[in-house]
Amino acid sequence: MDELDRRLINRLQLGLPLVPQPWQVLAEELGSSSVQLRERLQGLLDDGTLTRFGPMFDIERLGGAFTLAALQVPEARFEAVAAELEDMPEVAHNYRREHAFNMWFVLGCASREALDDTLLRIQQRTGLPPLNLPKEETYHVGLYFPV
């Protein structure tokens, strides 16, 4: 990663300009070309430096539902259960925690009913009852990680 990559990542964390040619505006700001910036972004995605680039949607305002959930997974089964969740399109991401509930994941579904069905399907597939931790209130925090 070089200085242009760092400046690109830092700038993208602030959002794309809402104009007809946002990459051209970014190119002017960063002293580059729109083609080079898009190529750099793709390279950062391809090499795993960035895992995702895209908009953030408020799924509930779109009629959907999401939740944070957790499982208590025996260590001997951890990788197998992780693979099971990774195969489910409803699972946005999952990760290990040092806690009795050692696997945490986010579910995003088209409806509340679909969310409930997915939690039940996870229990049926893994034999482990998920801890469902739905959002109670929304807080908007300006998250920014300078690189």
Write down all domains in the chain, each with its CATH number in brackets: 3-46 (no CATH), 65-133 (3.30.70.3460)
The residue annotated as part of the active site, out of 6, 93, 96, 121, is 93
Confidence (pLDDT) at 52: 84
Residue with the two structure tokens 């482990």: 128
pLDDT of residue 123: 98
Q: Which residues of the chain, if any, have pLDDT below 70?
A: none
Instruction: Identify the pLDDT of residue 109.
Output: 94
Alpha-helical segments (H) within the chain: 3-12, 22-30, 34-46, 78-86, 112-126
Contacts of 48 (CB under 8 A, 6+ apart): none
Sheet harboring 131-133: ordered strands across? 91-96, 103-109, 65-71, 131-133
Active site residue 93: yes
Give the per-residue pLDDT at 50. Answer: 92
Locate 109 and state its tokens.
């579904």
Query: What average pLDDT is seen over the chain?
Result: 93
